[in-house]
Structure formats: structure tokens, C-alpha cells
Amino acid sequence: MPRWYATLFVTDALERFGFYGMQAILVLYAAAPAARGGLGLPADQAAALFGVWIGVMFLLSLPGGWVGDRLLGRRRALLTGCLLSAAGYLALALPSGWTTAAGLLVLAAGGGLFKPNHQALINLMFTGRRGRESGISLMYVGVQVSALTAPLVTGYLGERAGWHAGFAVAALPLGATAVLLARSAGRFAGADGGPRRPLGRAERRAVLRGTGLVAGGLGAVVAGLGAAGLLDAAALILLSTVLTVTVPVAGYRALYRDPALGAGQRRRLRGYLGVCLGATLFWIVVAHAASLLTLFARDHTDLRVAGLAVPPSWLQAATPACVLVLAPVVAAVLPAVGGRHGVAVKLAGGLLAVGCGFLVMCAAATAAAHGARVSPLWLVVVYVLHACGELVVPAVVVSSAAEVLGERFMGRVVGLLWLFAALGGGLGSALVRLSGVLGEPVYYLCLGGVASAAGLAFLLGRRRLAGALAPD
């Protein structure tokens, strides 16, 4: 195993420990009453909070990729992201409402720096699609070790010792990641020689001015809501949802109109828009694992095993356990699937897997509709189907990003992908409230049906997508 791959493998696994710990306990912390150390939010707002947070983090991935491309270089962007994330977890470990809000925002900024630059380095270091897809899928093995252990550790500490203890432990792996990255200079050959297109003086002034205007505008909106007495969790969730829906459209338009792009690059970018929209739908569905499915585990699932009560957060270990078993097989088989139509065929398979998972949830919610507690095996099946989708979709969409616009725009294309993941988080946080209006069985049926239909559409349109993404 090359040293550069070992570094990226380990840093990704350590950084993801905190993310999966958040996925396990954030919604439970938000929904817990203040007397138990929680935020005391209603169930629908608590379920929406995770979608909003992950949406904002993905939203910051486009500027995070730009920072790696134009300001810091990719390794230094990774290191900065780790330090910000560690500070965010430590802020969440403090028992105060404002530190929770600040910690979530800093965490989103750290993740927005880390993910696109990590994936850009992977794409740059591999020389072909087959190697990238296998390498990214195999990297899920390390990630899923964290995904398996994080819910067990943070879930136990959060639910038994206090939520803030669960957040605090997540800062430790980030510190180790920062140390490893600080000592890894020189392992990435020419892929980490500083920013690819450094900013000129005039560009720096324009960026600072634009950033100040955006920050000032958001500050004015928040201050106005506070002055009107409307600054509560529901208002912040709504504001974040609006941003995650509007910014991806603006980000794609800005990249598409970049004067440095040629006709062939714009054609591929139009084709890649379909890939991004498929990934958006995938993230809408998968994000429910940390929100509505966690609340379903808490409220409608019989979690007593051999007389012992299993924390609801522990059920999320089913997905990484399955991924650990399947990842080596998928890494070996995935590059050969679909031939020249592979992107569409693999996206179709991933969407069909998560769509079928929600059709299973429709049956589980129907069985629990009258107050009965159902077997946890229902959720285990759903998480296993999610695992099958997670092994395929991220590897395919990240790998295909390398061939859209070339090396000069690598960070921005990966950041664009995560903008559309942000769109999935924003739409998911809005859609989750429909579960209380439609009823959970109908809600799961509709969302599972849409994901399955989209998977079939990708399968039928595989030739057209392959043509749109083909090189000049």
C-alpha cells in the first residue's frame, strides 16, 4: 500500500469517527428535554436539525474546495479542517445553548474544508477510473470501522454519562488526524504543491469583499430575526434550508459560466448535473438514518435484548458492520459493472437499494402504527440496504468528478458535488416534517417510490448519460 494512500485511508477513518458519533446522538440530544441535558426541541425540529447541519456542511464544501485550489493547497486545507472540527466538538462539549450553535457552525466549516480536499487528493493520486473506484470503495472499510465504533462509544457516553461527554470524545481522533497530516508533507508528490491557481492581488480583494458582503447579509438577517423575537430553532432551520436549496443552483451556474471552460467541458458539466441530482436524492434518503429512523428506533422498536435495554443509537452500527463485510467484494467487482455505461448503472443500483429500504420502512411503520413495538430487524434490513447504496454511490460520483473538468477545477467539481449533497440535506430537513402530516407509512412509501423510480430512470437513460460524460 503506498504511503500516500495509507495516510488518506487513516485520516479519513479518524475524521469520520466524529461525524458518525454526531449522526448517532445529535437528534437524540436535540429531542431530549432540558432536564436531561438536551435542547428540548419538538420531534420534527430535532429530526430536521441533523439534515440542516449536514446540509450546511456540504454547502461549505464548494468554498472549501476553492480554498484548497486557490489559497492553501489541499493538505493544508485538510489540516485546517481537522483543527476547526476539533474546536467544534469541544464547543459542543460545553453545556450552553450558544456554544451548541457555535460548535455546529464550526464543525460544518471544518467538514466543508476536509471532504472536498480529501477527495480531490484521492482523484489526483490515482491515474485511472478503475483504480479510483476500487480505492474509494476500499477506503470505506476504514471509514466503517469508525462508523461501527462511534455510535457505540458516543451513544453510550451520550445516553448514559451525558450528551456533552459524547461530543467531547469525538474531538480526540481529530487531534490525531491533525498530527498525522502535519507530518505527511512530501507524501503526495506533485498533487500537494500548494494552490493550483493562486489568487492574484486583485482577486484576493474581490474575494474578501464578496465574503464580507455575504457574511454581513447573513448577520443582518439573523440580527433582524433576533430583534423581532423570531430567532428560534425553527427560524434557523428554515434559514439554513433556504440556503441549502438556493446556493447549489448559484454554485453550478457560476461554475458553468466560468470563461475558462470550453464547449466540451460544459457538455460534460451538463451531464454531471444529472449525476449530482441522483446523488442529491440518495442523500435525502440516507440522511434519515440519523433523524427519523433514530426516533423510530427510540419510540417504536423493542430494544430489550436478553433483559437489557440497547441504546437506540447502537442500531446504526448495522450499516457499517455490513459495509465492513461487503466493501472488499464491492471494491473488486464495482469497476467492471456497466462497462462504458457504468456511472448510470451503478447510480441506478444505489438508488434502487435505498428506495427498497424505505419501502421496507413503510411496512415497519404500518406494523407500529397502533403503538406496537416492532422487532429491530426491520431497521437492520433498512440499514443493510443503505449500506449497499453507500458502497456504490459515493465511490461512483466522486470518481466520475475527476473526469468532468480536469485537474485545474478538481476541488470545485468535488465541492459542487457536495453542494448537491447539501441540497439533499436541505430538502430532507424540509420533507421530514411531512411525516407528521402524511403519516409515517405513506411518507416512507412516497420517498421509497421516488428513489426507486429515479434508479430505473438512470438505468433506462444510461446511454445518454455516457455520451454526455464522454471525453472530447
Q: Which domains does the chain have, with CATH numbers?
A: 3-184+204-469 (1.20.1250.20)
| Amino acid of residue 307 | G
| Residue 452 near residue 356 (C-beta atoms within 8 A) | yes
Tell me the pLDDT of the chain averaged across its residues. 80
Instruction: Decide if 134 contacts 332 (C-beta within 8 A).
Output: yes
| Span 132-152, average pLDDT | 75
CA dihedral defined by 340, 125, 61, 178, rounded to 10 degrees?
A: 150
The Cα–Cα gap between 291 and 446 comes to: 17
Query: Rg for the chain (alpha carbons), in Å?
Result: 21
Q: Report pLDDT for 224.
A: 66
Q: How confident is the model at residue 454 (pLDDT cuts 50, 70, 90)?
A: very high
Least confident of 44-58, 198-212, 374-388, 424-438: 198-212
pLDDT band at 411 (very low <50, low <70, confident <90, very high): low
Give me the residues paired with residue 309 across strands: 304
231 has a pLDDT exceeding 60:
no
- Check residue 348 and give its pLDDT: 92
The answer to whether the beta carbons of residues 318 and 324 sit under 8 Å apart is no
- How many whole angstroms separate alpha carbon 94 and alpha carbon 106? 14
Q: Is pLDDT of 409 > 80?
A: no
SS3 (DSSP) at 39: coil
pLDDT of residue 446: 94
Q: In the beta sheet, which residues pair with residue 374? A: 301
* Half-sphere CA count of 5, side-chain side, radius 13 A: 15
pLDDT of residue 455: 93
Cell of 233: 430553532
Percent pLDDT > 70 in the chain is 84
CA 379 from centre of chain: 21
Take residue 424 and report the three cell numbers written for it.
439533499
Collect all residues with Cβ–Cβ distance below 8 Å to 128 and sequence separation of at least 6. Answer: none
What residues contact 431, with CB distance under 8 A and at least 6 apart? 284, 447
pLDDT at residue 358, rounded to an integer: 94
Using the predicted structure, report yes or no on whether residue 414 has a pLDDT greater than 90: no
pLDDT at 193 over 60: no
What is the pTM (predicted TM-score) of this model?
Answer: 0.70
In the chain, the amino acid numbered 55 is: G
Looking at residue 127, its pLDDT comes to 66
pLDDT for the residue 365: 92
Give the pLDDT confidence of 351-374 residue by residue, as tens digits. Answer: 999 999 999 999 999 998 877 888
Least confident of 44-48, 267-271, 284-288, 293-297: 44-48
